[in-house]
């Protein structure tokens, strides 16, 4: 148990409604009445964000989240399969948990997985990944100076907007948080 006065953003709380991550924390001391704590909480499993108010000093259950490195192996009918880099145990993670991150997963990639009581609850990719372009329309000759972009298809199947000079076979760096083109690697 932890007092609501000691809660900080980023902590995980095990509330009766489910497992939540603290997004925002505000301690309010009104002129009249008792102090209270206002928090914005994100449900770790569903992603829903709620606002919740607690009495100052009220005890809440803190959740112990274990973050470990896993290597992405492959995808099958059961979901996405990862291997723990320390114990070499393999686990299968559902497509719902992986979400949009699936567009950036490549064989052998190391990801950070958050586990609660042995169950995966969140997946963190590196900030950027380098992926090969498998299809790109040729750029228009003479239009290489402008900031125009064109759609290109990556090896994972994701389509992003990239500058006209990017060609099929190039390796590009993509921001995994926004899905935007960053730079051409080769």
The secondary structure element, H or E, covering residue 43 is: strand 36-43
| Residue 141 reports pLDDT greater than 70 | no
Tell me the pLDDT tens digit for each residue of 81-94. Answer: 999 989 998 998 88
Q: Is 127 exposed, middle or buried (0-12, 13-18, 19+ CB in 10 A)?
A: exposed
Task: Please report the DSSP string for 103-169 in residue order.
Answer: GT--TT-EEEEEEETTEEEEEE--SEEEEEEEEEPPPPTT-SSS--EEEEEETTS-EEEEETT--TT
Across residues 122-130, what is the average pLDDT?
88
For position 83, what pLDDT does the model report? 93
For position 67, what pLDDT does the model report? 86
Among all chains, which residue has been given the structure tokens 């402008």? Answer: 146
The residues, any chain, with a CB within 8 Å of residue 124's CB and separated by 6 or more, are: 67, 111, 112, 113, 114
Q: Identify the band that residue 171 occupies on the pLDDT scale cut at 50, 70 and 90.
A: very high
Classified by CATH at the fold level, domain 65-124 comes out as: OB fold (Dihydrolipoamide Acetyltransferase, E2P) (2.40.50)
The strand pairing partners of 115, in sequence order, are 66, 120
Among all chains, which residue has been given the structure tokens 């991550």? Answer: 21
Across residues 171-185, what is the average pLDDT?
90
Same fold: 65-124 with 128-184: yes
For position 179, what pLDDT does the model report? 86
Across residues 144-173, what is the average pLDDT?
86
Q: Residue 42 is encoded by which pair of tokens?
A: 């994100």
| Residue 66 reports pLDDT greater than 90 | no
For position 144, what pLDDT does the model report? 58
Best CA proximity match to 169, nearest among 136, 141, 143: 136
Q: For the chain, what percent of residues have pLDDT higher than 90? A: 18
Dist CA 162 CA 181 (whole Å): 6
Best CA proximity match to 179, nearest among 156, 163, 157, 159: 159
Q: Identify the band that residue 165 occupies on the pLDDT scale cut at 50, 70 and 90.
A: confident
Dist CA 82 CA 88 (whole Å): 9
Q: Identify the band that residue 142 occupies on the pLDDT scale cut at 50, 70 and 90.
A: low
Best CA proximity match to 154, nearest among 175, 123, 140, 126: 175
- Asked if CATH classification 2.40.420.20 holds for the domain at 2-60, the reply, yes or no, is no
| Residue 29 reports pLDDT greater than 70 | yes
| Residue 54 reports pLDDT greater than 70 | yes
Could you state, in order of their start, the residue ranges of all structural domains in the chain? Answer: 2-60, 65-124, 128-184
| Residue 145 reports pLDDT greater than 70 | no
Q: Identify the band that residue 153 occupies on the pLDDT scale cut at 50, 70 and 90.
A: very high
Dist CA 152 CA 132 (whole Å): 10
- Asked if CATH classification 2.40.50.140 holds for the domain at 128-184, the reply, yes or no, is yes
């Amino acid at each position: 148990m932890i007092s609501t006065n000691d809660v900080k953003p980023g902590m995980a709380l095990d509330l009766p409604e489910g497992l939540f991550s603290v997004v925002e924390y505000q301690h309010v001391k009104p002129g009249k009445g008792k102090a209270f704590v206002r928090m914005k909480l994100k449900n770790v499993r569903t992603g829903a964000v709620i606002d919740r108010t607690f009495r100052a000093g009220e005890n809440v259950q803190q959740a112990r989240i274990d973050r470990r490195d896993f290597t992405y192996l492959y995808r099958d009918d059961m979901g996405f399969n990862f291997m723990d880099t320390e114990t070499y145990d393999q686990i299968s993670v559902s497509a719902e948990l992986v979400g949009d991150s699936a567009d950036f997963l490549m064989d052998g990639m190391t990801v950070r997985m958050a586990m609660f009581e042995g169950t995966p609850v969140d997946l963190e990719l590196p900030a950027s990944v380098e992926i090969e372009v498998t299809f790109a329309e040729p750029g228009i000759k003479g239009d290489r100076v402008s900031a125009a972009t064109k759609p290109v298809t990556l090896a994972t199947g994701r389509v992003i907007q990239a500058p006209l000079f990017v060609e099929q076979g190039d390796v590009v760096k993509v921001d995994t948080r926004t899905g935007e083109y960053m730079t051409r690697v080769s």
